[in-house]
Structure 1
Amino acid sequence: MKLAILGTRGVPNNHGGFEQFAEYFSLYMANKGYDVSVFNSHTHPYQEKEWNGVKIIHKNDPEDKIGTAGQFFYDLNCINHCKSEHFDVILQLGYTSSSIWSKLLPKNSLIVTNMDGLEWKRSKYKKPVRRFLKFAESLAIKSSDFLVSDSIGIQDYIKKTYNKESKYIAYGADAFTTPNEVVLNTYYVKPYNYNMLIARLEPENNIESVLDGAVLANTKEIFLVVGKHDVNKFGAYLKNKYKEHPYIKFVGGIYNLDHLNNLRYFSKLYFHGHSVGGTNPSLLEAMASGALIVANDNVFNKSILKDNALYFKDEKDVCRIMDDAVLFEKYKKEFKNNNVKEIMLNFNWDLINSQYEEYLLSKLNSNA
């Protein structure tokens, strides 16, 4: 199989969930002997043409000059390259900025698309953009030979809305087994004496509800907000709103996985507010690190966490949970053990990667 992975800013990961998956899966496939290429933005800090056996194809990405619109041109450049070099399978991660070019995809390649979350539901977008995203979703459905859903909720949605089958394959994570308190010194926190969240600072991640709850709570422990706060208006708005509350600390993006794992492991409460579709990678990582998770009450989070988390709907729930002194001692060990076991059984990277490999091979062979 000659495989191309399209739709990310590139590997190694320094951005987000799809990039992380592309990193793990491309390395897995290269180690298995497949011919694997990943498209990288020309602005990606890694500038070599190969990474651990994975071919890197840099393409012009004007996002740094013209903003979000640049993603469309970047995807166009990647798709045009696919027309000049034959790939057996093109694995598209997401569809937002690539589906409008779907007619340009090569007819002699198998197109498999991971449908991501319900992008058109994201409240950060204005109504015209959300209408476009719904249209882009339908284009991706029609133009793909096969579809992958990263959650049962998305799989059900695609079946109900488009009467299309999709293969459920989640993201992966590695169980965290090497806690090291020394890492905490970098962030001026002490074990089990702080709360935290990790997210892109966007409205649908319910960050404002979580932080409003922290303000309402009588407990004023340090609250670490991990995520780039200087890349959009909402991030700047949040940082300004809570500037009078010194215990709420915006620490920016952190991409050192060992640091993130230790911060999650030693946190008192870990808040996961994501509400728009998909199996979020940061949720699996929180489970794998043994954090006591407080998640937004929605079908996507509940389908993964089941009964092994606390849930909130609004800032009042957050306040109540933060002020309940017995929850940590009551649930930490039980939820930790159950979540780590779930990761090891159903979400480990070897399993996820092998599921993708088997699925792509089966579809390639059936279309030979």
Structure 2
Amino acid sequence: MKVAILGTRGIPNHYGGFEQCAEYLALGLVKKGFDVIVYNSHNHPYQEKEWNNVKIVHCYDPEDKIGTAGQFIYDLNCILDVRKQQCDVILQLGYTSSSVWGKLMPKNSVVTTNMDGLEWKRTKYSSKVKKFLRWAEKLGVKYSDHLISDSIGIQNYLKDKYQKDSTFIAYGATLFEKPNIEQLKPYGLSPYLYDMLIARLEPENSIETILDGVVLANLQRPFLVVGKHNTKYGAFLKEKYSLQPQIQFVGGIYDIEVLNNLRYYSNLYFHGHTVGGTNPSLLEAMASNSLICANDNPFNRYILEDDAIYFNEATEVKQHLERVVCQEPVYQLKTKNNADKIVNIYDWNIIVDQYAQHLEAVEAKFNRFK
């Protein structure tokens, strides 16, 4: 079966969650005998036409020159190219800047779309942008033959809003089992004597609430903020907390070994995401044996259940920072339970199997009704 993966900046991952998903899926599907194409931005660091037996197609992407509008041009270029590829199934990861071109999808291929989270809920967007995102979501549903939800909450939403069934397939992770304390040295850290968060620095990820709590706690131990900060909001955050030496903005880190070790040796790992489904960074924290302090919302509760501590306000963040020692038995049990979830529910091998079954099922259904 020939499968094309669209909707990411490309592989190997140099950006974020969907790129990581595309990387694991492409590798796993190739091992199962699928013929896989992944679309990459023309300026992706990896410039070869093949990567670990995955075919790479580079398409022109002017996002670095014209901003967000460039994403729409890139997605259009990917769709125009995939029309020539004679694929059995096109797997779209997201819809935000591609669904406006949905009419151009090839009619001889099945289109299945991972609908991601509820993008229009993100607080960074203006009312006009939110209105557009609702329309784009509607088009994403309209021009897809099948839908994938990465959380039960998203699955229920699609059913209620559009009367559309979707296949639930969570995001994946791989249990981290080989910690290396040497990875802490470049950051001047000592095991379990620092706290951290990893996120895109955006308002809906509770960054200010968490950092306000760090300020209130007024502890001397470092607090790492991992995420790209050369943005308008990033500049605001760095200015707001410039007099707090314990808060360290270290930028984006994309080396999974470094990230895993930073998470593994942290005292408290904060997950402030309030929008979306099965968030990649949350599963990776669970896989890294992090003790997680999460924003208290249904998406996070569904995955973590009672195996985390929760916050809504900065005062709660302060209290957790002052009181919680991750190596105490009650907290060690939570991290063990989360690691068991990774092995039994969210392991990438399980997720790849579920995607493979889905792709085979939708392709077979398509052929039956030709």
Q: Normalized against structure 2, the TM-score is what?
A: 0.98
Contact map agreement 1:226 1:252 (CA 8 A) in 2? yes
Provide the secondary structure at the position in 2 that maps to 1:44: coil
- 8 Å CA contact 2:326, 2:332 repeated in 1: no
Distance 1:258 1:326 in 2: 24
Question: Map of 1:279-290 to 2, 5 A cutoff?
Answer: 279-290=278-289
Q: Secondary structure at the match of 1:96?
A: coil
Is the CA contact (8 Å cut-off) linking 1:291 and 1:332 kept in structure 2? no
> How far apart are residue 113 of structure 1 and its match?
0.2
Q: Unmatched 5+ residue regions in structure 1? A: none
Per-residue CA deviation, residues 191-240 of structure 1 (Å, 9 max, x unaligned), is: 0000000000000000110000000014332000000001x211111111
Counterpart mapping for 1:1-368 below 5 A: 1-230=1-230, 232-325=231-324, 329-368=328-367
The 3 A distance-change label for structure 1 pair 86 and 326 is: closer
Q: Which moved more, 1:80-89 or 1:286-295?
A: 80-89
Cα distance in 1 between the residues matched to 2:291 and 2:220: 18
Kept in 1, the 8 Å contact 2:151–2:169? The answer is yes
> Secondary structure of the residue that 1:229 maps to in structure 2?
coil
SS in 1 for 2:147: strand
Deviation larger for 97-106 or 315-324: 315-324
Q: What is the distance in 1 between the residues matched to 2:181 and 2:268?
A: 17
Measure, in 1, the Cα distance between the counterparts of 2:34 and 2:13. 20
Q: Give the aligned length.
A: 367
Distance in 2 separating the partners of 1:24 and 1:122: 27
Letter in 1 for 2:143: S
Q: Indicate conservation of the 8 Å contact 1:292/1:328, yes or no.
A: no
- 1:367 alignment partner, SS class: helix
SS where residue 84 of structure 1 aligns?
coil
TM-score (norm 1): 0.98
Q: Extract unaligned runs of 5+ from structure 2.
A: none
Measure the CA separation in 2 of the matches of 1:182 and 1:247: 21
After superposition, give the CA deviation of every residue in 1:95-118 in whole Å (9 maximum; x if it has no partner): 000000001111111000000000
User: % of aligned pairs identical?
Assistant: 59
Tell whether the 8 Å contact from 2:201 to 2:233 is kept in structure 1 after alignment: yes
Structure 1 contact 321–327 (Cα < 8 Å) conserved: no
| SS of residue matched to 1:155 | helix
**Whole-Å separation in 2 of the counterparts to 1:193 and 1:211:** 17
Q: CA deviation at 1:332?
A: 2.8
**8 Å Cα contact 1:214/1:220 also seen in 2:** no
Question: Mean alpha-carbon deviation: is it higher for 14-23 or for 81-90?
Answer: 81-90
Whether the 8 Å CA contact 2:268–2:326 is kept in 1: the answer is no
